[in-house]
Structure 1
Amino acid sequence: MTVSPFDHPLLSGLLGDEEAARHFSVEADIAAMLDFERALAEAEAECGVIPRDAESAIVKALAAFRPDTAKLRAGVTKDGVVVPELVRQIRVAVGEPHGEFVHLGATSQDVIDTSLVLRLRQVIDHIGLLLGENVVRLTGLDLEFGNRALVAVTRMQPAIPITVADRIASWRAPLERHQVRLAEMSGRLLALQFGGAAGTLEKLGDKAAAVRAALAAKLGLADAPQWHSQRDGLAEFAGWLSLTTGSLGKFGQDVVLMAEFGPDIKLSGGGGSSAMPHKQNPVKAEALVALARFNAVQLSGMHQALVHEQERSGAAWTLEWLILPQMVVATAAALRLAAELAGQIESLGH
């Protein structure tokens, strides 16, 4: 059973993206959380916080660890987060006398937020490749058709003569700016979350900074002060997702209108109709408009999730879980569809 079109057995073929979605699977999430616990044990042993024997026992246990997902589900129902039950199972797997050193100085939010960032790093790689493919395809259309004539349309009325290159520029230039934005923003987004119970790493004393730096290095993330209740990085990323799908939605809307109102565009592989066999519907272009509007709606929720009371919010945090994965998959799907749509354009202008 599914309640989301992004993993629906039928709709996901149009609106989903398997590569993006797999980074939000339970398997990917648990794997990233275990990476955190392994790296934490290694960092704390290096800094003299836990014994080397404890590190070895934890790393060995994690290599063979397979969680009981039924108990994890029950734990989330009770605790609101998966980490307490996950840590309990890991400590049992490590056994005495070293189990007590698992998760030392960390809190559930450290594990969950760092898992998210680790997975977003892979998502950004995927989305970045798709974004680059769109720029390349639009550049190809420009090279092939850019000198042809079009009539500009302002406020849905014919205006003055332009070239195909002028219109393609309005599709491609925002995507090129989004490439720059993504590269610049990633340095802020891909940062370790490690603060302990209330962000102060109080259990690690004067070793806190050293452990955090070592942990960040092992995970390949930026070493930054804790951001438990500071969600601007994730909201900024959500804004980027909405900007990107909005630009792709403009491309889709233009293609729909060009296909409807004249001979300015020729597409291959349009969608069929059950009642009118002669029709070739611009399905991918329409989906781009829908995905742009979807992300624009979801963005307000991510801005609501900025409001974290004091040092941690359960409600705002949960709201992020509901919204951000769908925005990511919507964006990846839009980038995939836009590249496919550009590939279906056989002719532009006249």
Structure 2
Amino acid sequence: MTEPDLMGALTGDAEVTALFTDAAWLDRITRVEAALSLAAGDAGVVPAELARQAADVVLGFRPDMAGLRDGMAQDGLPIPEYTRQLKAAADPALRPALHVGATSQDILDTALMLALAGLNDRFDAAVTALDSALADLSERLGQQPLMGRTRMQAALPIRAADRLAAWRAPLPRHRERLAQLRPRLERVQYGGPVGLRGGPDGRAEGDAIADALADRLGLHRAPDQWHSARDGIAEYAGWLSLVTGSTGKIGQDLALMAQAGEVALSGGGTSSAMPHKQNPVGAETLVTLARDNAGQVALMHQAMLHEQERSGAAWVLEWLALPRMLSATARSLDLCQQLIVRIQRMGEAG
């Protein structure tokens, strides 16, 4: 277990953090390798019984974690050492059904997609819940008068419902975008050493394994590998930033409304030096997370620049930026909903 992160209590998300622990990665790697053995049997590349026995060995295998960490430092990946240990522990007769035709990137990218598929279910539900919370707030306080402001200056009177409608407007579009991009994102990765799925002579077998692997893991089939074509992940990063941009806009408006005395929230932050203050900590955090995600998108676009058939540098850059974006998005959606339900008044105090 990792130690609690004091600063992460403000900007982090425990569920996302848990998805990227050694234990969580190992669990997904195990699922992928076991499914790959079974997929090879489904495709007729190895006998079905041999595939079943190999999958059982994978599911029961417990690697030496110290060896994996040493291998990671040497190879830049955990999979070479993992497969070395796995094959050494298995009956030699089962080795043809282990890690069949795969490269390290096939295993890790597919393992990542397993994590994202579950997380995207959560994101979809969270956007829906935020939209509902805003609808409830509009029903409760929407008729309260507000001063409309353009370029941060008083303009003309509006209702609270008018501002809330602007906050809600992108949310259905975010759900629609996510539904559209998920089949492009949550795809199996299977290409082999240089992306040929077994080459001209073995391509049909490789395609059959890839399809069976996707089906067994509940991922979308991929007509080809995407080792160096990272547009799906880059598109997804853009979606994450769009979501936090929307929650960040809500946070910024709430912070400005708090400054003008136009909103009252329960449970504001306190000051160590000025006890009379109630700081809009949650609203400020939404702004921070939105800006951070906007910066991370640039890194994810940099990570599209893979050299030739595979890049170590660009791929590892994804590992740094994407978990951070996922955590920021999860935290923003939860925090934004919490803030909305805590609003007790909109408009000037009567």
Please, which of 148, 152, 162 is the counterpart of residue 144 of structure 2? 148
The corresponding residue for 2:314 is: 316
User: For each residue in 1:187-228, what CA deviation from the matched residue of structure 2 results, as whole angstroms up to 9, or x when unmatched?
Assistant: 111111111011111264432222211111111111111111
Please, which of 78, 84, 87 is the counterpart of residue 88 of structure 1? 84
- Helix, strand or coil: the match of 1:228? coil
Separation in 2, partners of 1:129, 1:93:
42
Please, which of 114, 123, 126 is the counterpart of residue 127 of structure 1? 123
Please, which of 3, 14, 27 is the counterpart of residue 18 of structure 1? 14
The corresponding residue for 1:271 is: 269
Contact kept? 1:92, 1:99, Cα under 8 Å: no
Please, which of 180, 183, 187 is the counterpart of residue 179 of structure 2? 183
Please, which moves more after superposition, 149-158 or 95-104? 95-104
Equivalent runs, 1:200-279 vs 2, <5 Å: 200-202=196-198, 204-224=202-222, 225-262=224-261, 264-279=262-277
Separation in 2, partners of 1:141, 1:244:
20
Which residue type is aligned with residue 64 of structure 1? G
- The Cα shift of 1:8 comes to 6.0
Please, which moves more after superposition, 52-61 or 184-193? 52-61
Q: Does 1:195 align with 2:191?
A: yes
TM-score (normalised: structure 1): 0.95
Please, which moves more after superposition, 48-57 or 106-115? 48-57
- The Cα shift of 1:20 comes to 2.0
Separation in 1, partners of 2:183, 2:169:
23
- Helix, strand or coil: the match of 1:98? helix
Separation in 2, partners of 1:329, 1:106:
30
- Helix, strand or coil: the match of 1:230? coil
Contact kept? 1:20, 1:126, Cα under 8 Å: no
Equivalent runs, 1:22-61 vs 2, <5 Å: 22-61=18-57
The corresponding residue for 2:281 is: 283
- The Cα shift of 1:138 comes to 0.6
Gaps of 5+ in 1: none
Which residue type is aligned with residue 96 of structure 1? P
Separation in 2, partners of 1:8, 1:281:
25
Contact kept? 2:34, 2:59, Cα under 8 Å: no
Check 1:205–1:161 CA distance in 2 against 1; reply closer, same or farther (3 A cut): closer
User: For each residue in 1:215-252, what CA deviation from the matched residue of structure 2 results, as whole angstroms up to 9, or x when unmatched?
Assistant: 11111111111111000100011001111111111000
Which residue type is aligned with residue 309 of structure 1? E
Which residue type is aligned with residue 338 of structure 2? E
Separation in 2, partners of 1:343, 1:12:
23
- Helix, strand or coil: the match of 2:272? coil
Separation in 2, partners of 1:301, 1:49:
40
Which residue type is aligned with residue 133 of structure 1? A
- The Cα shift of 1:149 comes to 1.2
Say what the alpha-carbon RMSD is for the aligned residues: 1.6
Please, which moves more after superposition, 172-181 or 305-314? 172-181
Which residue type is aligned with residue 119 of structure 1? A
Q: Does 1:104 align with 2:100?
A: yes
- The Cα shift of 1:56 comes to 2.7
Contact kept? 1:131, 1:335, Cα under 8 Å: yes
Contact kept? 2:31, 2:59, Cα under 8 Å: no
Separation in 2, partners of 1:59, 1:313:
30
Which residue type is aligned with residue 68 of structure 1? D
Please, which of 289, 292, 302 is the counterpart of residue 290 of structure 2? 292
Contact kept? 1:41, 1:58, Cα under 8 Å: yes
Gaps of 5+ in 2: none
- Helix, strand or coil: the match of 1:334? helix
How many residues were matched structurally?
345
Contact kept? 2:196, 2:203, Cα under 8 Å: no
Please, which of 331, 343, 346 is the counterpart of residue 348 of structure 1? 346
The corresponding residue for 1:339 is: 337
Please, which moves more after superposition, 30-39 or 248-257? 30-39
- The Cα shift of 1:57 comes to 2.4
Which residue type is aligned with residue 347 of structure 1? R
Separation in 2, partners of 1:332, 1:237:
14
Contact kept? 1:259, 1:265, Cα under 8 Å: yes
Separation in 1, partners of 2:56, 2:308:
38
- Helix, strand or coil: the match of 2:157? strand
Q: Once the two structures are aligned, what percentage of the paired residues are identical?
A: 48
Contact kept? 1:17, 1:333, Cα under 8 Å: yes
